[in-house]
Amino acid sequence: MQEPGPSRLGRAVSWLRAHDPELAATRRAGRTAIVMPALFALCSQVIGSPTMAIFAAFGSFSMLLLVDFTGPMPQRLQAHLGLAVAWAALICLGTLVARETWLAVAVTVVIGFLVLFAGVVSSVLAGASTALLLAFILPVASPAPLSQLPDRLAGAGLAAAAAMLAISLLWPRPTADPLSPPAARVCRTAAEQLRTDASWLAGGPETPGIGQCRATADQAATAAADLRVVFDATPYRPTGLSTSSRATVRLVDELTWLSSILADSAPPLDGRPACDADAHAVRRAAARVLDEAADLLDGPQSARDALRAASDDLRAAMADMERNATTRLTVHPGATGTPSQVHPVIGVLDLSFRAQELGFATLQVAGNVDLAAAAERRGSFARLLGREPGAMTEPLASARERAAAHLQPRSVWLHNSLRGALGLGIAVALADLTSVQHSFWVLLGTLSVLRSNALNTGQNVIRALGGTLAGSIIGAGLLQLIGHHGTVLWFLLPLAVLLAGIAPAAISFAAGQAAFTVALVILFNIGQDPDWHIVLLRIQDIAIGCAVSVLVGLFFWPRGAAAAVDRALAEAYADSARYLAGTVKYAVGRCSPVPAPGADAPLEEGRAAAAAARRLDDAFRSYLAERGAKPVPLADMTTLVTGIVGLRLAADAVLGLWQRADEQDVDTDKAEARLVILGAADGVTGWYRDLAATLGRGAAVPEPLPRNPGAEGQLVESLRRDLTDEKGQPTATAVRIIWTADHLDVARRLQPSLAAAARPATPS
């Protein structure tokens, strides 16, 4: 007997889950489909106020469909309360300026810029920008006497109250971030790989086989790949604006980088290296840190003490390993270590270096997990203004600092804010000059169609007009079938709103426009005879809005997000290379009798590199959100973005290595060793500066630097000559110099993958 297949409902649910990850759009649309028609009916049929009905309907549409605040429920309710207050203020302002065209245009440009640019301060403001703009657009596009202001405010107030009840009672959003479970899995599989590898390297009666090591390594690699897939597919991926969202973005990149380090440090297939008990202890301590990080990702409200204690233990294990490393370093040519990777003498420290590299990357991951958990505990005001946990500055000062960082000509966020504000101002002027009946839809069409560049704006114009035309035809057909049986429209309105909420995310932008048009046709024909002009007016209004979008897209930064990412990548690589060069200069200055000029800790270079990385986060987010074909494959662009993390981590590791030195070693002249290290640093950082110069400019990508055995030999000779103490024994400075060279080699080994990813972006 044949097994019964899935029901139609089951197939529909499966399709919806495949096209709407986490059912985020479905959840918002379902709430709106319940609340919006109910409020519209209450205000229009029971209270008898058409003005209140319109503002209640669009207020609920805005507060339930256009925003989806995160965090614990009390913080979400506080955010919605703040949104309601902002709605009231913007409605008052829009009503006051709407009757004078010049004043309406000027205030629209100012309000549009402030609302859009304010999103750079925090993810709360960024997520609410469209809803806030709608609160101003609705009244400014509908001039009315001040006597209607109380009804407008009452409608918005009802919408706010209903929205707060709906998010609390109707299918509440899960508290956990969608990226947390896959990130926790990466931490746990990486921890298991570290423990397995440490056990195999240590040997013993219960040592796991090399096959088990390979199996755990495959599991860790698969988990890292799954995390990247989830990140790329998340519809509302972290914006890189608030503390928690920036920490999450960095966490994804750093876990990807940690996975690549794990792959490079896997046990060799051709024999077991010499045992290094300190390195194995560091691996086990790192595994414990990753386990605690996974637990905190699964429960961000739990205590962070265990993670901090494990991190302290890892730092202590790394310090012990650094102190004991000199006992394993020899300057005799017969030394053995891992000669397949480095010079035999330097290879003695290879296990220690790999453990140190893994430990440092693990501490970076732990720090971001701890920071994200602390950010979730912030109060509403601090979250609204994007204040980092533990920051010494006040929330307002923190917000000003974050906004000031983007008040520069090359800021993508500044470009998008000015573009959107000018587009809305032009739309207000055109709506008044053409005397369209429903100028609100002109502004809404401008806002929804405008994207980051003229090409994609043009594509959205075709989709918007096509979707509007299809929706108008469907709406007209419904009106024809229904005739004067207007009651049927009340039953169709919730279904139309539900489809309008789901279609843009699950189907396409054009389908969303079509569904939204049908909902508007139904909404404006309820309670009155069918008006065929509504169909033509809807197409006319959207056409004007699309024309404004194309105009603004052509004349204001028309190259869009792809060019902005190229510039941000170039700046980030140049600043990160400068930071790495500065840390090496600081390192050689710590082992020189006379400190070299510029040998202070490169803190300013580190801050500049971090700021460039944040701007890259913003540009990359715009690139991901931009519709249309991508000029560079997402996998290649992700490789280039993640390369910044690897380069900065190498610089951070060198700086931390020498900052932990007990005192400056000035007893002997180490000129030759300094020259070798500085020469290697110049070569590696010079390559990255050349890469930065080619990105987005059509120049040939530089060839990756080959391994330089001659430089390794020179370093060994310098160990024999001037890196030993008076008894001929290796010094701690020798270990640090070798590890500095290793960190530079890590940056060099990144180059082939980065060059391969950068080449498709340049013409042949």
598 vs 721 pLDDT, higher one: 721
Q: Are 384 and 125 in contact (CB under 8 A)?
A: yes
Tokens of residue 69, six digits: 């605040």
DSSP string, 368-411: HHHHHHHHHTS-HHHHHTTPPTT-SS-HHHHHHHHHHTT-STT-
274 vs 320 pLDDT, higher one: 320
Span 414-434, average pLDDT: 79
On whether the pTM is more than 0.95, the answer is no
Alpha-carbon distance values, 31 to 60, 126, 132, 414, 468 (Å): 9, 22, 19, 34, 24
Q: Which of 364-373, 621-630, 660-669 has the highest mean pLDDT?
A: 364-373
Q: Are 361 and 254 in contact (CB under 8 A)?
A: yes
Per-residue pLDDT tens over the stretch 70-103: 767 887 888 889 899 999 999 999 999 988 888 9
Per-residue pLDDT tens over the stretch 229-247: 777 665 444 333 455 655 6
Residue 577 has pLDDT above 60, yes or no: yes
Q: Are 223 and 189 in contact (CB under 8 A)?
A: yes
In a domain, 490, yes or no: yes
pLDDT at residue 84, rounded to an integer: 93
Tokens of residue 15, six digits: 């399709």
Q: Which of 109-113, 478-482, 530-534 has the highest mean pLDDT?
A: 109-113
In a domain, 194, yes or no: yes
Per-residue pLDDT tens over the stretch 673-697: 788 888 888 999 999 999 988 886 7
Q: Are residues 424 and 495 in the same domain?
A: yes
Q: Are residues 242 and 339 in the same domain?
A: yes
Work out the pLDDT band at 736, boundaries 50, 70, 90.
confident
In a domain, 480, yes or no: yes
Tell me the pLDDT of the chain averaged across its residues: 76
From first CA to last CA, the distance across the chain in angstroms is 61
144 vs 239 pLDDT, higher one: 144
Residue 155's nearest CA partner among 31, 53, 36 is: 53
Euclidean distance between CA atoms 514 and 298, whole angstroms: 40
In a domain, 13, yes or no: no
Per-residue pLDDT tens over the stretch 612-647: 887 787 677 666 655 445 566 666 777 788 788 888
Per-residue pLDDT tens over the stretch 316-368: 998 888 777 766 665 544 444 444 344 555 556 677 778 888 888 898 889 88
Q: Are residues 356 and 450 in the same domain?
A: no
Q: Are residues 193 and 147 in the same domain?
A: no
pLDDT at residue 290, rounded to an integer: 95
Euclidean distance between CA atoms 71 and 379, whole angstroms: 11
In terms of residue numbers, what domain contains 475?
Answer: 410-558
Q: Which of 14-18, 224-228, 237-241 has the highest mean pLDDT?
A: 224-228
Residue 312 has pLDDT above 90, yes or no: yes
pLDDT at residue 106, rounded to an integer: 93
Helix H or strand E segment including 479: helix 454-482
Q: Are residues 642 and 695 in the same domain?
A: yes
The dihedral of CA 557, 563, 568, 571: what is its sign?
negative
515 vs 194 pLDDT, higher one: 194
Q: Which of 497, 532, 558 is the last residue of a domain?
A: 558
pLDDT at residue 333, rounded to an integer: 46
Q: Are residues 468 and 598 in the same domain?
A: no
Per-residue pLDDT tens over the stretch 588-599: 887 766 555 545
Helix H or strand E segment including 680: helix 671-694
pLDDT at residue 342, rounded to an integer: 44
Work out the pLDDT band at 36, boundaries 50, 70, 90.
very high
Q: Mention every residue, 6+ apart, whose C-beta is less than 8 A from residue 713.
A: 343
* Torsional class of 281: left (φ above 0), alpha (ψ -120 to 50), beta (otherwise): alpha
In a domain, 9, yes or no: no
Work out the pLDDT band at 188, boundaries 50, 70, 90.
very high
Query: SS3 helix, strand, coil % of the chain, rounded to 5?
Result: 75, 0, 25
pLDDT at residue 722, rounded to an integer: 61
Residue 713 has pLDDT above 70, yes or no: yes
CATH number at 283 reads 1.20.58.220
Euclidean distance between CA atoms 3 and 523, whole angstroms: 45
Euclidean distance between CA atoms 603 and 49, whole angstroms: 62
Burial environment of residue 145 by CB neighbours within 10 A (0 to 12, 13 to 18, 19 or more):
exposed
pLDDT at residue 408, rounded to an integer: 73
Euclidean distance between CA atoms 665 and 348, whole angstroms: 22
pLDDT at residue 93, rounded to an integer: 94
Tokens of residue 543, six digits: 């056409």
Q: Are residues 357 and 453 in the same domain?
A: no
Q: Which of 129, 148, 175 is the last residue of a domain?
A: 175
DSSP string, 9-64: HHHHHHHHHHHSGGGHHHHHHHHHHHHHHHHHHIIIIII--HHHHHHHHHHHHHHH
For 75, other C-beta atoms within 10 Å of its C-beta total: 19
Q: Are residues 424 and 464 in the same domain?
A: yes
Q: Are 647 and 254 in contact (CB under 8 A)?
A: no
For 20, other C-beta atoms within 10 Å of its C-beta total: 18
Span 26-36, average pLDDT: 89
631 phi and psi, to 5 degrees?
A: -65, -25
Q: Are residues 679 and 721 in the same domain?
A: yes
Tokens of residue 654, six digits: 């060198």
CA 70 to chain CA centroid, nearest Å = 15
Q: Are residues 589 and 720 in the same domain?
A: yes
In a domain, 504, yes or no: yes
In a domain, 724, yes or no: yes
Q: How many domains does the chain have?
A: 4
Tokens of residue 747, six digits: 């940056």
pLDDT at residue 344, rounded to an integer: 54
Q: Which of 353, 376, 399 is the last residue of a domain?
A: 376
Beta bridge partners of 724: 730
With a pLDDT cut of 70, the percent of the chain lying above it is 69
Amino acid at 721: R
DSSP conformational letter for 142: S
pLDDT at residue 698, rounded to an integer: 66
Q: Are residues 322 and 352 in the same domain?
A: yes
Q: Are residues 312 and 191 in the same domain?
A: yes
The structure tokens 């004067």 sit at: 484
Euclidean distance between CA atoms 440 and 108, whole angstroms: 13
Q: Which of 53-57, 232-236, 388-392, 497-501 has the highest mean pLDDT?
A: 53-57
CATH number at 725 reads 1.20.58
Work out the pLDDT band at 309, boundaries 50, 70, 90.
very high
Q: Are 240 and 249 in contact (CB under 8 A)?
A: yes
In a domain, 385, yes or no: no
